[in-house]
Amino acid sequence: MGLFDKFKAGLQRTQAKLSSEIHRIVSRSPKLDDDTLEEIEYTLISADLGLPMTQRILAAIKESYESQGKDGLDVLAVARREVATTFKGQTHGLHRQPEGLTVVSMVGVNGTGKTTTAAKLAHRVQANGDTAVLAACDTFRAAAVEQLKEWGNRLEVPVIAGSYGADPAAVGHDALSAAQARKADYLFIDTAGRLHTKSNLMKELEKLHRVIGRQAEDAPHEVLLVLDASTGMNALTQAREFNKAVPLTGLVITKLDGTSKGGMVVAIHQELDLPIKFIGLGEQADDLQPFDAAQFAEALFAE
């Protein structure tokens, strides 16, 4: 399956809602009157595209209608273009240190997909010929280490873990040493889910990063906040608060396959000055894709 087909399959719920709704609304009326525009607006908003993007799309639709009339108007094409161009200049893909180990820390609130994404990323870099090590720094939840070990077994990626209740910073330290000894290209650190409002847990995360930073220059090189697409605009607050405690280098938005509100990717991007690096489109190892604005826009408003 090509990238576009993967995007399209993963975004099917959002696409179904947006495209078929808009198609129905537009084809019903010979004119583009205020009621029609209002219905389009409602549809865009309910896919969580956010108000600024919605207004931008509506303005572009009106402009196209005024210059070309109803027959020349292709609402989906206008929406695709507007969404794709907001992402201009967006960098994606994983950072890679020019030499030695690249350390990537996965952070976020509970259940967003950190562990799964760490495993998917390890799988991804391996497929590109790089080597990876996984660090089980979620020592808080009993089953967390097992979950990561299972992934490690399946993907043949070594997992460095401590005991239940151990200091995550100590596990991180050991994992980093192990990854360096193995001359691995990447270390992916799985951290425990935490609410950004719990300052002691945020301090624990800061400590983990501080310890790692002393051990390897500029580490962690990537701090990826994992956001669950179905949480909509709550994700925005999470991103702002996490960014204050541990400076983020990018976002991963997961579970887009399970929501009809995939427009939140656009809204989040418009609100935050952080690149969307990857999107999660399913539960399997290869269901993580580097974010591509054009393909994303194309899939969101596919015919």
Ligand X SMILES: Nc1nc2c(ncn2[C@@H]2O[C@H](COP(=O)(O)OP(=O)(O)OP(=O)(O)O)[C@@H](O)[C@H]2O)c(=O)[nH]1
Which positions touch Mg ion (CB under 5 A)?
Answer: 114-115
Query: Are the C-beta atoms of residues 106 and 226 closer than 8 Å to each other?
Result: yes
Does 115 bind ligand X (CB under 6 A)? Our answer is yes
Residue 283's binding partner, choosing from ligand X, Mg ion, none, with beta-carbon cut-off 5 to 8 A by kind?
Answer: ligand X
Q: Looking at 125, 144, 159, 248, which residue binds ligand X (CB under 6 A)?
A: 144
Q: Which is nearer to ligand X, 82 or 138 (CB)?
A: 138
Least distance between Mg ion and beta carbon 283 (Å): 13
Phi, psi of 70 (to 5 degrees): -65, -40
Query: How far is Cα 278 from Cα 220, in angstroms, rounded to an integer?
Result: 18
Minimum CB distance to ligand X, residue 114 (Å): 4
The pair of three-digit structure tokens given for residue 297, joined into one six-digit string? 């826009």
Residue 269 tokens, joined: 């991007």
Minimum CB distance to Mg ion, residue 141 (Å)? 7
Q: Is 146 in the site for ligand X (CB under 6 A)?
A: no
- Amino acid letter, 252: V
Cβ 190 to Mg ion shortest distance, Å: 6
Residue with tokens 């418009």: 270
- Measured from the CB atom, is 6 or 56 closer to ligand X? 6
Q: Examine residue 116 and tell whether it contacts ligand X (CB under 6 A).
A: yes
Q: CB nearer to ligand X: give 113 or 162.
A: 113
Nearer Cβ to ligand X, position 50 or 282? Answer: 282
In Å, how far are 125, 134, 151, 187, 286 from 129, measured between CA atoms?
7, 16, 18, 15, 15
Give me the least distance between CB of 96 and ligand X, in Å please. Answer: 23
User: Using the rule CB under 6 A, is 111 a contact of ligand X?
Assistant: yes
Among 50, 113, 152, 262, binds ligand X (CB under 6 A): 113
Residue 111 contact among ligand X, Mg ion, none, beta carbon within 5 to 8 Å by kind: ligand X
Could you tell me how many residues of this chain bind ligand X (CB under 6 A)? 22
Q: Between β-strands 250-254 and 276-280, what pairing exists: parallel, antiparallel or unpaired? A: parallel
Name which of 85 and 199 has its Cβ closer to ligand X: 199
* Cα–Cα distances in angstroms (integers) from residue 255 to residues 11, 91, 111, 184, 200, in the given order: 10, 21, 11, 29, 28
Return d(Cα 297, Cα 283) in angstroms, integer: 22
Q: Per CB under 6 A, does 152 bind ligand X?
A: no
Cα of first residue to Cα of last residue in the chain, in angstroms, is 19
List Cα–Cα distances, 82 to 8, 35, 74, 85, in angstroms.
18, 22, 13, 5
User: Who contacts 137 (Cβ-Cβ below 8 Å, separation ≥6)?
Assistant: 168, 171, 172, 175, 189, 190, 191, 192, 208
Within 242-281, which residues bind ligand X (CB under 6 A)? 254-255, 257-258, 280-281
Name which of 138 and 222 has its Cβ closer to ligand X. 138
- Nearer to ligand X (CB atom), residue 17 or residue 194: 194
**Residue 95 interacting entry, from Mg ion, ligand X, none, C-beta within 5 to 8 Å by type:** none
CA distance 96 to 204: 26
What is the binding site for ligand X (CB under 6 A)? Answer: 108, 110-116, 138, 141, 144, 193, 226, 254-255, 257-258, 280-283, 287
